[in-house]
Amino acid sequence: MPIQLTEAMIRTGALKESLARGREYYREGAVYDTAISEDILTAKCRGAYAPHYKLRVEFDDAGVSNASCTCAYEYGGYCKHIVALLLAYLNAPASFETQTAPQDLLRELDRDQMVELLTALMRKHEDVRNAVERWVAGTVRKSAAAKSADRAKDTPQRRTVDDTPYRKRIRALIREAGEYYNPYDEGENEELVQGLDEIRQVIVDFLDADQPRDALAIATAVLDEIRKSQDYVEYELNELEDFTDQLDMPIAEAVLSTELSSAEKKNLQKAIGDDDYGYPAARDALEYGWTATSRADEEDDNDDEDDEVAEAGDDEVIEEYIAGTANDWRLRGYLRADVVDAQLNVLNRRGDHERYLATALAAGRHLRYTQKLVELGRGPEAAQYAAQHFKRAGEALTLAQQLHAVGQVDEVLAIAGYGLRLAQPRAELGRWLAPIAKSRKDNDLALRAWMAVFDEDPSLSLYQKIKALAGKKWDKTRTNLHEQLAHSWQHQVHAEILLYEQDWDAAIALANKTRGGFSSQVVEIVADGVMQHRPDWVVEIAKQSAQALIDTVSSSHYPEAAEWLARVKKAYRILGQGSTWDAYLARLREDYRRRPSLQRALKAL
């Protein structure tokens, strides 16, 4: 049996300190005499309070089933020596000496030799004697009938993973987070988030390894410990709430992937709670399984067609689709939304493509349906279906990127171009599509793509890019762009574009329209931009803006007021009215002679 071991499993099974020290021991080469015998690792590790410690790790097909070390560690999870051993095997399994399996050694002995060997070991080692006695009591003394029944049974189900390390790990994470919790710190506890994510990844790893019962056992244990933590943690940890939300889908997938006993269902229900809050996919999976109720339950009970679907059940609708006999109205998507994604994930993991497509189609999961078609080499069919059913530009972008990854460029341009007409946001789609369309010499599509970006995220540089691309269509395109700006709140960009086009009067009209009590950034941009061309307007708007700031009688506003007065001075100089400026400044000094902070600002002028 190949040993199941990942770095995530190691991280999950050890506390932070043990993990860090274990890595050091591994890098230092503290582990030696490493050996493997079937599913058991043994080794020695350099010790701080002994010449060495003896290590032993046992595996089953769920991962580590037991780990022991002769050190005195007792703080939960793997000790640093076990961590070092596991890292050694994970990174260099070939360096472990392969030992002959026990049964192969014993097979060479006859009955008398076996009795002699066991007798000697039992006399010398009390633990061997105890183990033999337990084995004899539990196996040899069975009745012949019991033996016969045992042989007749199918291969026994393997042992479920031991959840103890995960319970210890989550308890340690929560206690540490609770101990150092700061209610005034709005940031995440990164160590807690990382530890929780590692546990979640282990659960997902078990699902991917087709071991849903183990995934469920760990998830149930972890949720149980989180519930118990309310008794010893004073504050609510937001990271735990986010973590439990992330477990909803893996739990639902595990439920759908195995047959649970009544007791197992009861334990899981207890773990997720009975208040109908949270875990929507898991609850639906527990209640409905693969026979999800239809959306007709939530719609008009007098709709005969919906009632017929509800009575028939979704499984029948899916089977009709597979057989090619379903009516169109029965494929509108009646599966419960909360559990459908879990069903699709399970079907995808099983490689059941036909039922995956049927379920996605019946549930109205248009994006996942088309993605599976592309995965199966049916790109043109996916693009055609998407053009009939997609509603959002984001869906078109996701499918187009998948099509592009497999080299189906014609379909990319078709579906992405269609996406530019769908619901916003479209900017991300436009940014991605425009260079591709340009490289295919489809300037019209590239222009549409950049126009979609401009609609949501306008800028002067993008305006110039569109102008260069539009060519003979520029006059019409320009009108459209300015209409977009006129109906948006992007006044600063609008001002920059008007100044770029040297439309001074339009820029001034925009500044007058958007000017607030003191001024605005738009007015500043326009005032600086039209200084040489409309200095008389700059004089008036700058005076008004400076006066509004002075009237606040707040020294914090005087530096900005001085900046506006500097514009007044510059505009007067352009007009050839330097004496008018001098008189205006002298009047200000006289009027506000009792404001020393303002006087200092005026002196700089």
Q: 149-165, pLDDT tens digit by residue? A: 343 333 334 446 788 88
The mean-pLDDT minimum among 162-171, 431-440, 471-480 falls in 162-171
144 pLDDT more than 50: no
The mean-pLDDT minimum among 65-69, 130-134, 252-256, 370-374 falls in 130-134
121 pLDDT more than 80: yes
In tens, the pLDDT along 543-562 reads: 999 999 999 888 899 999 99
pLDDT at 69: 92
pLDDT at 155: 36
pLDDT at 276: 58
For the chain, give every domain's residue range.
7-103, 189-288, 472-530, 534-605
Residue 43: band (very low, low, confident or very high) from pLDDT cuts 50, 70, 90: very high
CA distance 164 to 296: 44
Please indicate whether residue 454 or residue 309 has the higher confidence score (pLDDT). 454
179 pLDDT more than 80: no
Residue 100: band (very low, low, confident or very high) from pLDDT cuts 50, 70, 90: confident
CA distance 51 to 118: 30
4 pLDDT more than 90: no
Omega cis (within 30) before 596: no
324 pLDDT more than 60: no
- The pLDDT mean for the chain works out to 83
CB atoms closer than 10 angstroms to residue 482: 17
- Determine what percent of the chain is predicted with pLDDT higher than 90: 48
The mean-pLDDT minimum among 104-113, 316-325, 576-585 falls in 316-325
Q: Rounded to 5 degrees, what are φ and ψ at 54?
A: -95, 130
Where is 57: in which H helix or E strand? strand 52-60
* DSSP string of 225-239, one letter each residue: HHHHGGGT-SS--HH
Query: Listing from the earlier edge strand, what are the strands of the sheet with 31-37?
Result: 63-69, 52-60, 40-46, 31-37, 97-98
24 pLDDT more than 90: yes
- Determine what percent of the chain is predicted with pLDDT higher than 70: 83
| Four-point Cα dihedral 155, 160, 161, 165, nearest 10 | -150
Per-residue three-class SS string for 341-381: HHHHHHHHHHCCHHHHHHHHHHCCCHHHHHHHHHHCCCHHH
pLDDT at 192: 85
Contact yes or no for 18/77 (Cβ under 8 A): yes
Residue 143: band (very low, low, confident or very high) from pLDDT cuts 50, 70, 90: very low
pLDDT at 331: 38
pLDDT at 348: 93
pLDDT at 186: 63
Q: Count CA within 13 A, CB hemisphere, residue 285.
A: 31
Q: Count CA within 13 A, CB hemisphere, residue 220.
A: 22
Report the amino acid identity of residue 480: N
412 pLDDT more than 70: yes
pLDDT at 532: 95
Contact yes or no for 384/374 (Cβ under 8 A): no
In tens, the pLDDT along 26-42 reads: 999 999 999 998 889 99
The mean-pLDDT minimum among 257-261, 459-463, 570-574 falls in 257-261
Mean local confidence (pLDDT), 169-197: 78
In tens, the pLDDT along 189-201 reads: 788 888 888 899 9
What would the two tokens of residue 25 be?
């021991």
pLDDT at 142: 38
318 pLDDT more than 60: no
Mean local confidence (pLDDT), 315-325: 49
298 pLDDT more than 90: no
Partners of residue 58 on adjacent β-strands: 40, 66
CA distance 574 to 532: 7
pLDDT at 160: 66
584 pLDDT more than 90: yes
Q: Count CA within 13 A, CB hemisphere, residue 73.
A: 25
pLDDT at 332: 37
Please indicate whether residue 138 or residue 536 has the higher confidence score (pLDDT). 536
Calculate the alpha carbon distances from 165 to 22, 78, 447 in Å. 16, 8, 58
The mean-pLDDT minimum among 51-55, 182-186, 490-494 falls in 182-186
301 pLDDT more than 80: no
pLDDT at 312: 38
pLDDT at 119: 86
pLDDT at 182: 65
Contact yes or no for 336/295 (Cβ under 8 A): yes
379 pLDDT more than 70: yes
Please indicate whether residue 237 or residue 562 has the higher confidence score (pLDDT). 562
The mean-pLDDT minimum among 336-345, 361-370, 419-428 falls in 336-345
